[in-house]
A and B are shown apart, each in its own frame.
Chain A
Amino acid sequence: MLPNIDYSELPRALQHMLERGQTVKTLPRRSFLKLAGATGLALGAFPHIALADPAAGGKAASSLKPTQQPSAFVQIAGNGEVTVTINRLEFGQGVHTALPMILAEELDADWSLVRSRHGTNDAAYVDPLFGIHLTGGSHSIKNSFSQYRELGARARAMLLGAAAARWKVDVATLRTQAGTVLGPGGRKLGYGELAEAAMAQPVPEKVTLKDPKDFRIIGRPTPRLDAQAKSSGRQDFGIDARLPGQLTAVVARPPVFGARLAAMDDSAARAIKGVRAVLRVPLDGGAEGVAVVADGYWQATQGRDALKLTWDTAKVEKVDSERQLVQYRELAGRPGPRKFDADMAPLATAPQQLEAEFVFPYLAHAAMEPLNCTVALTEGRAELWVGSQCAGLDAGAAARVLNLKPEQVTVHVQMAGGGFGRRFSSTSDTVVEACEIAKAARAAGLNAPVRTLWSREDDMRGGFYRPMHLHRARVGFDERGNVLAWDHVIVGQSITTGSVFEQFQVKNGIDGTATEGMRDPYPLPMRLTVHHPKLNVPVLWWRSVGSTHTAFVMETLLDEIARTTQQDPVAYRMRMFGDKHLRHRDALQLAVDKSGYGKTRLPEGRAWGVAVHESFDSVVAYVVEASVKDGRPMLHRVTAGVHCNLAVNPRTVEAQVQGAAVTGLSMCLPGSAITLKDGVVEQSNFDGYTVARITDMPEFNVHIVPSAEPPTGIGEPGLPPLAPAFANAIARLTGKPLRQLPFKLA
C-alpha cells in the first residue's frame, strides 16, 4: 500500500524525516504503568530504556534503541497473560496476530495466553528500519521479524534471570517451555509469577535466537487473535471511539477539488435540533469546506443538507476524464525522461511487431470503514483516536495545525476497517481536517471531543485515488518469441511527489512507483519513457501501488507474444526466468502442478490463463480458469502459487492472497472506475463504483512454496497478477487481447 523502498536510500530518507520534525516521544514510566493498570492486564512490566528505575534495580541497556526495549512491547500479568503491543496498524492484514506470534516464539510464551494491542505515536513504535511510524509497503512482518524475535528473546532472558536469582542457581541450568521457567529438581515458575522480579533484571543487549527448525509458533497456521471480537460486533474501530460529551462533525466539501466557498447561508442548518456549530474550515489542497458539528452523525448530516452554499470554482482546474485521455495520448508521443534505455533499431526489422495501448482509470480505495478521526483538545494537549498508517507523521501534522509541540500530541492507533493505502496520505488530510474542526469548535466555545466522520460519498469523491494511467508499447520479436526491442511509454500522475517519499522515489523526473513491476525479471531490451502530468486530482498509493497497472501490461503483452508465436505461456515464462529467478519458477510451477494445467481438459468454453508477478519482494503466480458468458468475462477457479519466504502464519498468507486477488478482480469488473466530468467526480457510492461481491468470487486455492528464509511481504503481492491471468484466459477464448481495466470486450 506504499511504495517499495530502495534500502540504499534509507539514510537520506531518515534525514528527511528528521528534518520534518518527526514526532519522537516516549511515555513517562508512571503513565506507562498507569496505562497498563487501567487495562487490568499487567502487574509486571519491563523497564523502558530511558526510564529504568534505579531504585527498582532495573538496568537498561543504554545502547538499545526504544524499538529494541521489551518494556514498550511486552506486558506480563500475574495470571501469565502476555500482552504484545504491535507497532503497526491492523487493518485486516493480520499483524495483530503475526507480530505477537513472532515475539511469543522467542519468549517461549503459552500461545493461549497471548493478547495483542495497538501502540501509539511513541518512538518505540517506529519501523525499525525506516525510523518512522509506518504501516505499508507490505513491510510489517518483513521489517519487524528480527525486531520482535529479539524483543521476545530479551524478555525471556529477563525472566530466566529472575528465576535464577529466586532459586539461587546458575541460569544455564534453566530452560523455558510454554510460559514457564523450568529448573533443576523439577522446580517450575510461571511467567506471571516472575514478571515483577524480571522488571529488575538488566535488559540484555545481545540475545541468541532460536534455530528456525525449533519454531513451534512461527509457521503454524494460527487463528487470528481478533477473530472472536470481530465475529461478535465487539471489536471497536476508530469510528466506535466514544468519549464523554463527544460531538460529531461532517463536512460540506466543494464539488471540484481545491474550490473555495463564495457564499453561505447557514440559518436553516443552525436551526436543526442537535446542531451545535457551523464552521468554515480549510481543507486539503487549498480548498475550503463547511463543518457541521452536532450531537450525532444524523443531526450533523441533516445540518449539512440544510446549508445553502455557493462555491467559487472559477479559478480551479476542472479535470475531465475524456479530455484527460486525449491529453495523455498527446503526451505519450512526446520525448520524456527515460527509466531504462536500449537500442530500438531492431524495431524496424523485427519479423514480428506488436503495438498496444492500455488505459487504467482512477480507483478509490473504498475501505469499508469510512474515514474518521476523533480529537480531544485540552490546554496544551491533543489526543487523537484514528486508524492511522503513520501515527508519527499524523501527530506531527496535528501539532502544526494546533500550534502544539509534537510531544503534546498523542495518537491512539485504532483498529481500522480496511485502508488499502488511504489511511496514510502525504498531507495527513483526514487528521489535519479533524484537527482544524476541533480547533474551530473549541474557538466557538464547544468544549468537547469532536469526531469527524466522512460519509461514503465524501470518501469516494474525496480524491487520493490510484492515478489514471496510459501505457503504450511497441514490441519487436522473432518467431521464437525472443524480444528484440521494446519501446514503452507510461503517462500518469506521480504519487510520491510532495510526500515524504519524494526525495528517494523521484529520480530524473521519474517516480519509481509508476514504473515498479516493469521489465524485471524478464531479460528484455526495453526503452521506458515516463511522463508525469500535473493535475489537481489528489492521488495516492493503492494496494500494490505501481504493480496495479504494470503487472497487467507486462503479463498480458508477454502472453500475447507467446500466443502469437504459438508457445505455451508457462514454458515461455519459464524459459525467460532461466536459472536466475528460482522463486518465480517455484511459485509458477506450484500453481501449475496444483491447478492441473496441461493435464486436465477444461469444459467447453473455458480457458486457462497464467500470470506471475513479483512485488514487495514476494512472488505470486496464478493459474486461472475463465469463460465468457453473455458477453461478460467470468472467473471460475484460481490456483495460487506463493513465494513469500517463511510464512509466519500460513492461514493469514492464504487470506491475504485471496483478499488481494479479490481487489484485483474488482479492477476487472464493469463500473470499477472513478471518472470526472468537468471537475466533478461522477461516482459517489457502491451503486456507481463497482467492487467485487461474493457472486463474483471464484473457487480459490492458495499454495505456499516452503521456505525458511526471512519473510517477505504478503499484504499486496496477491493483487497484481490476478487481472492479467484473467485477461489472458479471456484472450485465449476470444482471440482478442484485453487492454483496459475494467475489462471491455470489443
Chain B
Amino acid sequence: MKLIVNNREVTIDADPAMPLLWALRDLIGLTGTKFGCGAAQCGACTVHMDGEAIRSCITPVSDAAGKKLTTIEAATDGTDRVGAAVHAAWIKHDVAQCGYCQSGQIMSAIALLKSLPSGQQPTADSIDAAMAGNICRCGTYVRIRAAVADAARTLA
C-alpha cells in the first residue's frame, strides 16, 4: 500500500483495516502523532488528510491511501507558513506541560487557521469550538486559546 506522508511516498505492508495512527507510529516510525484513546475521543492522534484534520486512530489506513497526509513533524518544520506561526506561538506562550496532547492540539489549531478566509481572525468561540475535540489533562487550555489567537494575528 502506498501512502503520501509529509510529501514523501511511503510503501507499507499493512492490513487495510489498521488505523492510520499505527501505520504512522509502528510502521513508518513517525511517533509525533500520539495514541490517547483509540476512539476519536481525545484528539491526540490528529493529522491532516488532504488538508482536513482527522483522527488517525479510527481512520483505516486504506482510507488514507493516495491522500496527502501531513503529520506534526512536517507541519512544524518551518515549511508551512501557518504551521510555523502556530508552532512559534505555542513556544512563545509556553503552552505545553506534559506535552503529550500538544501534537494533536497544534494540528487542530493549524486546521482551524487554514480554514479561515484570508485575513479573518478567529473568534473566541470559534477557537473553543475547533479545539473542543482535543483533551488536555494538564489543563493548558488558557494558553492554547492565547496561542491560537496570537498565531492568527501574526498571519494577518
Contacts and interface: CB of A to CB of B under 8 A. Distances in A.
Contact of B76 (A233, A273, A296, A687): A233
Interface in B106-156: 106, 127-129, 131-132, 134-145
Indicate the member of B38, B42, B138, B139 with the most A CB atoms within 10 Å: B139
B96 A370 contact: no
Given A232-B87, A416-B98, A417-B100, A659 B138 contact: yes
Contacts of A234: 32, 73
Contacts of B91: 223, 227-228, 231
Nearest to B89: A231
A233 B72 contact: yes
Interface string A341-375: 00000000000000000000000001111100000
A557 interface: no
A655 B144 contact: no
B108 to A, nearest CB: 10
A322 interface: no
Contact of A659 (B18, B34, B127, B139): B139
Contact of B90 (A227, A248, A415): A227
Nearest to A698: B142
B15 A655 contact: no
Given A224-B96, A694-B141, A368 B136 contact: yes
A298 B22 contact: yes
B5 to A, nearest CB: 13
A685 B129 CA distance: 21
Given A456-B39, A655-B97, A298 B73 contact: no
Indicate the size class of the contact surface on chain B.
Answer: 35 or more
B99 A694 contact: no
B73 A230 contact: no
B147 to A, nearest CB: 9
Given A231-B106, A232-B73, A659-B138, A368 B19 contact: no
Contact of A232 (B15, B32, B35, B44): B32
A700 interface: yes
Contacts of A401: none
A456 B135 CA distance: 13
B-side interface mostly = loop
A395 B60 CA distance: 38
Nearest to A365: B137
A296 B27 CA distance: 8
Contact of A369 (B25, B34, B140, B142): B34
B35 A297 contact: yes
A223 B147 CA distance: 14
A686 interface: yes
Interface stretch (A67-75, A236-244, A253-261): A236-244
Interface in A642-659: 651, 655-656, 658-659
Contacts of B137: 366-368, 418, 420, 663, 691
Interface string A461-480: 00000000000000000000
B64 interface: no
A231 B90 contact: yes
5 contacts: A227-B91, A369-B34, A456-B38, A691-B135, A697-B145
Which 8 pairs across A and B sit closest by C-beta, in order of nearness? Answer: A233-B32, A662-B139, A417-B100, A230-B99, A233-B72, A92-B98, A92-B97, A296-B26
Given A226-B99, A370-B36, A699-B142, 14 more contacts: A230-B99, A297-B26, A367-B98, A368-B36, A418-B100, A418-B138, A420-B137, A455-B38, A655-B140, A662-B138, A662-B141, A687-B39, A691-B137, A695-B128
Interface of B: 15, 18-19, 22, 25-27, 29-39, 41-42, 44, 71-73, 76-77, 87, 90-91, 94-103, 106, 127-129, 131-132, 134-145
